Amino acid sequence: MNPHRRSPWVIAATVLVYFFLYAPIVVLILYSFNASRANVKFEGFITSFSDRVEMDGSFVKASPCGPFHWFCDLSKNDDVLEAAGNTLTIAFVATIISTIIGTMAALALQRYDFKIKPFSQLSLYIPIVIPEIVMGIGILTLFSQTFGWLNEALNLTGDARLSMGIGTVAVSHIAFMVPFVTLVVQARLQGFDKSYEEAAMDLGANEWVTFWRVTFPMILPGVLSGALLAFTLSLDDFVITFFTNGPGSTTLPIYVYGLLRRIITPQVNALSTVWILTVFIAVLLLQWLQSREQKPAHE
Amino acid sequence: MTSEFAVEMRDVVKKFITPEGNELNAVDHVTMQIKNGEFFSMLGSSGCGKTTSLRMIAGFEWPTEGEVYIEGKSTGHTPPFQRKVNTVFQSYALFQHMTVFQNIAFGLEMEGAKESEIKKRVGRALEMVQLTGMERRRPRQLSGGQQQRVAVARALVKTPDVLLLDEPLGALDLKLRKEMQLELKALQQQLGITFIYVTHDQEEALTMSDRIAVMSKGRVQQLATPVEIYERPVNKFVADFIGESNFLEGKIKHISGNEALVHIPVLNAEIRGMPMSNNFVNGEEVSVSIRPEKIRIAEQAAKGEGLFQAKVLTSVYIGSDTHVYADLNGTRLKVMEQNRISRLDPSSFYTKDQVITLVFMPENTLILKKD
Ligand SMILES: Nc1ncnc2c1ncn2[C@@H]1O[C@H](COP(=O)(O)OP(=O)(O)OP(=O)(O)O)[C@@H](O)[C@H]1O
Ligand SMILES: [Mg+2]
């Protein structure tokens, strides 16, 4: 028997897995081109590119954007743009900071021995395993208590009062992203031989130069993976953001949730499509970067 | 201004705390003086502290006690990047994200050399290790032997006073090893740089070195030239570790100058030999060592001093030599005879249970301290 012939069961299972993974995404994207205003029924693609009069006599103005009607609608929606801006700002800031902290933590855990090391290692898993909602409530309580106390103690009034906003969201995102980054970078460091660093120092590089010329380039793929993971976690975080945001710091997930409670239009789909595409391109870009990094220089 | 010694270790101790929580003297009161331009080897079995000694010279570890001197200057806590020694690592530790050129250029960049200067010197280094044309390859795209050469070039391009090599040929197959041994030795002679070479392969150490430090359990057992180490081992450990030896245990009966008489209980006889230490006392328990190729088999049966009757156990013909294993009053001895004369006649070979006379010459019989 040919060992490479696959059993029909395996093929069926594969198809099913892919179906459940990708069908929702395909549907979502299809619906963002829906001709209907209601998002529950697919009435075909937007095909009418000129003004027309319906059978019942109503006048329908053609969309200037053709099939991308809902995307145009979206781009005129200031709330969406603001939410998108907030989401990206928070994701970028939180990713950069959590990647720096997480990488440093991973390096410290790898090379130094200290009394509380087993505890530090274990404590990394706690934010990952405890329910997000518990963490969200915890952070909310912490912030509101501290802010209340500080506002009172420093006699802050008006705009100077500390309150929930983009800052608190970013800080809480950093808090839950650091362990993820640390774990990803640690995995990369597992096989890292300290003789590379010793070789660099042997050749005359001090600790600083050794880090930037040898250690960092070698662990960079791990750091990038950690950063990407952190970035996507931040982009689609709902629960923690829900507890820590404030006026003016609505992010996309929070905004979409708000939309869904009112009316569902294909605008939501268009928004999701853009979102998926962004993440998809980011992942592809990273893959490409990594493969280019590993590919040998031409002969 | 330069000292006579390239590197000097004075009474160096390095203690480690093992994972089990015990204190371990990985290097135990080691003193050695390595001369300028010398090919110096540290030889010993696994765990005897060779790498630890080398790492203290390179600056990756600091001695717990004692002091390491480079070119006559105490090193103290000088970091590795300020020592004029360079290392060839056992794993090579080539930077995988850099090309061969970049790897070799790294050390020169750290010195702040100009680009044109770097180009020139890297080119020369590549020529020296016969890798011209491979500049743009990554380490992964090279064979083991080529990687090894890059590691050597990367260290030598810095023109160090001393090159440290930690089992640099350990990962190579036998044939390539032999080739690289010769190449490294030639390179060392051509450049006149001091090489400190760590190996657990005695043949490698004997062929390449000017002097060898035989180490065991963190201590230097003997520090001498290859000939002295083989012909005049200072104790039983060295005689056993380097080459092959037959040992007989006994007690010193009489000692005078460079000759001693040892009573061997199992033979119920005395053996005359050369004392390998000058502080033996009468009645001291000693080991007597005779190398297999230094025992002669007499043509005819004879009796007398230094002559012993033994029974052949087996005789193994291996072309250039014949190895005879013989039983001497319950002690198994190995005797090596060169096949100097071409012969086929079966009667000219030793057979099992044949009684032969072994000749122990006093100058081939070494009397050794027991430790
Ligand atoms: N960092 C360390 N912590 C604890 N013990 C160590 C450390 N480094 C080395 N040792 C111990 O010190 C002893 C000497 O080690 P070393 O690496 O110098 O041996 P070696 O002679 O180079 O052996 P090999 O031929 O196997 O490389 C060993 O018993 C080793 O387990
Ligand atoms: Mg070693």
Domains and CATH numbers, chain B: 5-238 (3.40.50.300), 244-369 (2.40.50.100)
Phi, psi torsion values for A142, nearest 5 degrees: -55, -50
Average pLDDT for A90-99: 96
Token reading at B1: 């201004």
For residue B224, which amino acid is it? A
Residues of chain B found within 8 Å of residue A295, distances taken between Cβ atoms:
none
Compare CB distances from B86 to A203, A214, A217 and report the shortest one's residue: A203
Report which DSSP code applies to A11: H
Cα A276-A278-A279 angle, rounded to 5 deg: 65
Domains in chain A, CATH or no CATH each: 79-262 (1.10.3720.10)
What's the rounded Cα separation, in Å, for the pair B78 and B81? 8
Chain B contact for A130 (CB, 8 A cutoff): no
- Whose tokens are 């709902």? That residue is A238
Q: How does residue A59 score in pLDDT terms, banded at 50, 70 and 90?
A: low
Report which DSSP code applies to B141: G
CB B302 within 8 A of CB B309: no
Q: How does residue A297 score in pLDDT terms, banded at 50, 70 and 90?
A: very low
Give the pLDDT means over successive 10-residue stretches in chain B (371 positions): 84 92 93 96 94 95 95 92 93 93 96 94 93 92 92 94 93 87 92 94 94 96 96 94 94 89 91 90 92 92 87 92 93 93 82 92 92 69
How confident is the model at residue B1, as a pLDDT? 45
What's the rounded Cα separation, in Å, for the pair A140 and B245? 79
Is the pTM higher than 0.90? The answer reads no
Q: How does residue A299 score in pLDDT terms, banded at 50, 70 and 90?
A: very low
CB B54 within 8 A of CB B223: no
- The ligand 1 atom nearest the CA atom of B52: 18
CB B216 within 8 A of CB B44: yes
> How confident is the model over A148-205, as pLDDT tens digits?
899 888 887 777 788 888 899 999 999 999 999 999 999 888 878 889 999 999 999 9
> How confident is the model over A12-32, as pLDDT tens digits?
999 999 999 999 888 888 888
Task: Give residues (CB < 6 A) around ligand 1.
Answer: B 16, 18, 24, 26, 44, 46-52, 200
H helix and E strand count, chain B: 8, 20
Indicate yes or no: CB of B80 within 8 angstroms of CB of A218.
no
Average pLDDT for A62-91: 83
Cα B151-B152-B158 angle, rounded to 5 deg: 105
Q: What is the CA(B353)–ligand 1 centre distance, in A?
A: 47
Q: What is the CA(B213)–ligand 2 centre distance, in A?
A: 15
Between A55 and A221, residue with greater pLDDT: A221
H/E run at residue B68: strand B65-70
Nearest chain B CA: its distance from A185 CA (Å): 18
H/E run at residue A52: strand A52-53
Token reading at A211: 């880090």
How confident is the model at residue A296, as a pLDDT? 45
Question: Could you count the other beta carbons within 10 Å of the beta carbon of residue B88?
Answer: 27
Chain B contact for A297 (CB, 8 A cutoff): yes
Determine what percent of chain A is predicted with pLDDT higher than 90.
33
Q: What angle do helix axes B100-111 and B144-156 make, rounded to 10 degrees? A: 10
How confident is the model at residue A63, as a pLDDT? 63
Instruction: Check residue A44 and give left, alpha or beta (phi > 0: left; psi -120 to 50: alpha).
Output: left
What's the rounded Cα separation, in Å, for the pair A243 and A236? 14
Compare CB distances from B91 to A195, A202, A293 and report the shortest one's residue: A195
Q: Of the bound ligands, which one is closest to the alpha carbon of residue B199?
A: 1
Q: What is the CA(B51)–ligand 2 centre distance, in A?
A: 4
Average model confidence (pLDDT) across chain A: 84
Chain B contact for A205 (CB, 8 A cutoff): yes
Compare CB distances from B141 to A202, A293, A296 and report the shortest one's residue: A296
Between B15 and A247, residue with greater pLDDT: B15
3-class secondary-structure state, position B74? strand
Nearest chain A CA: its distance from B86 CA (Å): 6
